[in-house]
Amino acid sequence: MREESPAHHVKDLRLHIGEHTRIPEKILECIPWFTDVDMISLLGYAVVPLGYGGFSPLWEPLFWKLPMSVRSLTVNTSAVTLLQVRDIMAQLPNLDDLVLSRLAEVGGRKLPGIGTVLKGKFGGRLMLSGECVCEDVVNMLLEIPSGLRFVELDIYCTHDPLPSSAVRLARACRKTLVKLSHTVDYHRKPYSFSYSG
């Protein structure tokens, strides 16, 4: 029974998505009960093979009702597209911290104007890694009408040194940025750069 549920005590909600599985609708119906949750994480793999039209998520976050208390969002699953991340973020007006590690359909096609509905605070930590350090993700963030005020920017690349998209993010946060970290993984040997102040 919702009134007797201990869900209001939960601060960290993690959804692990298995390969070719859906998040049960009963679980999605319960998510609004977590009225005091601080962090939501979407983790795991759920990919349809490329022969079936490319990456295809097996659920639709547009129909979720998420708690407005969420301040931190982590997405590390190829079951979520960038447009779905945008739809999730649009429901979170208090979003401060954002971690994007793995997404489906990142890069390769232009996604104009997808950030215009986002209203979070965006003043905590932004961490981008792997294929999420790309123009599409950065463009979405830079199109947020209220602007970016992240104090910490953490970029982890698995390819060439600091891409221009990461430089654009750092410039956008230059008035508030306190810590900038950049790591490049060359043949599995990470080289780090970090700057505070």
CA distances from 184 to 129, 165, 189 (A): 10, 15, 8
pLDDT above 70 for 33: yes
Q: pLDDT digit string (tens) for 90-119? A: 889 999 999 999 887 655 555 555 656 788
What mean pLDDT, rounded, does the chain reach?
Answer: 79
Q: What pLDDT, on a 0 to 100 scale, did the predictor assign at position 40?
A: 94
- Residues 6 or more apart whose CB falls under 8 angstroms from that of 156 comprise 127, 128, 129, 130, 133, 182, 183, 185
What single-letter amino acid sits at 165? S
Q: Where are the domains of the chain?
A: 2-196
The confidence score (pLDDT) of residue 37 equals 94
| Amino acid present at 50 | L
Q: Is the per-residue pLDDT at 160 higher than 80? A: no
Give the pLDDT score at 151.
96
Which class is domain 2-196?
alpha beta
